[in-house]
Each structure stands twice: as structure tokens, then as C-alpha cells.
Structure 1
């Protein structure tokens, strides 16, 4: 082998070694060739996925459990509905006072007007009419205690006339009671004619003094009164 040939081979080997060294250096500095497809796939696969608990979102997929305290769409609807029902019935039904007009108190001589009318049918009957002149409802309790002239006692009530409920009068409404003055067949005794009448409200709610006919009314010991009624017909049935 000639000296020139030997040198040529040495120089070629040195050049190849140098090129290899440069290639290794470039790769270590991040300047080598990259597989862009593999890098993209790796980045897509390694990207973090947020969980419902961390992001506030939910997942209703099969086999997955909702975070503690989470209310699903259906549950939320039920909760709102329950809240609405409570608001509608709880607050309005239990809080607040009665309407002043609907609250009832016993009818009294100061909040009513009373008249006494002698009727033709049935015979020997007087009709008492009480009208609520106040601004609130009032109750006609029991029956009227009537006293004609100088009588020392008041007549009894017909117990069968007792209504099933107390008669309540709204402002402007009227209630009624009938008074049997004397026996229609003349069988009564101790009769007398009187021109004055006092009517006592139950519960000590005052006394009314309705006017009687100018000629007066005839009364005997057959006298009796009905309980307060809501209609004239019921009051005069006794």
C-alpha cells in the first residue's frame, strides 16, 4: 500500500468520525429530527382531563357516581317544586293575621240596629230583625231575652229552634228571631197589653229597645222565643 493511499484512508476515517460526533452533539441539543406525528399523539394522550369534582361539571354516564352534595336536574326540579309549595302554603297559610272584616265578635247593641214587627202570619207573632251596622262580622249568639212592659222575667226559648251553627252577620246583613206573643186559640192566661220592649243580647252585649206598634201588643203566659236564625221563615216557624 502506498503512503498516499494510507493518508487518504486516514483522512476519510477522521472525517467520518468528526461527522458522527457532530450528529450526536446536535441530537443532544434537541436539534435532531423529530417524528411530528408521534409527538402530536403523545401530547393528545398525555393532556390532563378535568374531573367533575374539580371543574364543577357533572357526568351522568353509566357506572359513574355524582359528587357528594350534587343535585341532578330532576332532583333540582323537585327541590324547587318543594320550595315553591312550602312558600305558597307555609308562609301564606300560617303567617299573618285574620282579615279584619272576616274576624267575628258577638253582635252588640252598639254595632246593630233592631226592629220589632207584628206579622199577620202566623198569628200572634212578632218578628225581631237585627242588622249589622258595624264594619266587622258579628255573631248572633243564643236567643234574645225579651222583656215586655214591667214583666219580672223573660220567656223561655223553643229548644227545637236551635240552629246547627251560630248565625254570623257580615256588615249590612240581618238575622231574625220570632216571638210567640200569645196562644192562638185563646188558651193562655194572665194576658196584658204592653207598648214597651227590651231585648237583651247574649254575653252581656247590651240592650236594644225596638219600638212596638202604637196600639201595643197583647201578651199572655204562652209567650216564647226562637233562637236567632238566618232567615225570616225559620224565625217564624215556631
Structure 2
């Protein structure tokens, strides 16, 4: 009796497999990843920079989405000082957030700028007056630079660095 049930079960299973194989294959439904967001551009963004009391030798860069659609910020801003192109500050890779930062219209994001080494070990120190901000598309800059005046007395050296974009100012100033 037990053997007969086993044979019957196997026969039914085989029939089910054959029936399934005869049905034309259908594509699996795509996972909904939500709306695709455009990269933020300097043409629809407003930038400000200000000194902070802590950590020393740092400034806070703020970008606000002035466009009418949400956009995303990837990586760190590409920065140049005065006549430099964007080689003026290296990205701090350890500051990369777990996800790209999405900005709704009117919303802001932040990047911390380390201007110089705290111990004075940086070289080629100089006063700078202008910051050129490019937005990184992951494959270079997205749009032209936005140039903003730096606070008076801004001093940089070769150790200048910048964090990835962060959703809040406190996270941008940890590095």
C-alpha cells in the first residue's frame, strides 16, 4: 500500500512538471524601485558656505534644491579654490553615506570642508576668496560650476578635503 501511494505521488508530480513546462514562460514582474530621480545640477541649486566653530579649520557647504523636481546628489562635491579647477579638495571616502542623498524641492544637503591640517603639517598654505562647486555625476561633473565667495580669511593647504553629501549638517562635520 505504501509503495502504491509513492508511485501515485510520483506520477502526479511528474504530470504537474509536464503541465508547467507546456505553459509558455512569462517574464517575472520587475521590482518597483520607485521613481527614477534626476541628478541635481548647479543650475537648479543654491550654494552657501560658512565657517563653523567645530571642528577647527572646517567650513560647512550647503546646497538647496531650487528646482521644481526632486533630484539626487552622488559622491562628494568637486571643489576648486580661486583659479583652481576641481582639484582643490580631495573627497573623504570614509564619509560615503549608505545611500545617495535625495533632495525634494526646497530641501538642503551638506558637505563638510576640511580647509587645512589641524597640526600645521599641510603644505602650500594660502588665503583663498572664491569656491567653485561642481556636482559629481559619478562620471565627472554635472553642469558648470557655481562660484561663491568664501568667508574673509579662509586659509587652505594641500590637505584640504570634503565629505560626501549628507542629509544633515552634523553628519557632514564628523569628518
TM bin, normalised by shorter chain, reads 0.7 to 0.9
Task: From the superposition, tell whether residues 103 and 137 of structure 1 become closer, same or farther in structure 2 (CA, over 3 Å).
Answer: farther
Structure 2 portions without partners, runs of 5+: 1-31
CA distance in 2, matches of 1:127, 1:158: 14
1:203-222 Cα shifts (integer Å, max 9, x gaps): 32331112211x23100111
Q: Does 1:170 align with 2:104?
A: yes
1:155-199 Cα shifts (integer Å, max 9, x gaps): 221111001100000111100101100011222111000101101
Which has the higher Rg, Structure 1 or Structure 2? 1
Answer 1 or 2: which has greater helix percent: 1
CA distance in 1, matches of 2:68, 2:167: 19
Structure 1 portions without partners, runs of 5+: 1-93
Deviation of 1:103 after TM superposition, in Å, equals 5.0
CA distance in 1, matches of 2:96, 2:146: 22
CA-based RMSD: 2.0
SS in structure 2 of the partner of residue 146 of structure 1: strand
Q: Does 1:219 align with 2:156?
A: yes
Calculate the TM-score normalised by the size of structure 2. Answer: 0.74
- Give structure 1 regions of 4+ aligned residues with deviation exceeding 3 angstroms: none
SS in structure 1 of the partner of residue 149 of structure 2: coil
Greater relative contact order structure (CA < 8 Å, 6+ sep): 2
- State the match for 1:182 in structure 2: 116
Calculate the TM-score normalised by the size of structure 1. Answer: 0.55
Aligned length, in residue pairs: 140
Answer 1 or 2: which has greater strand percent: 2
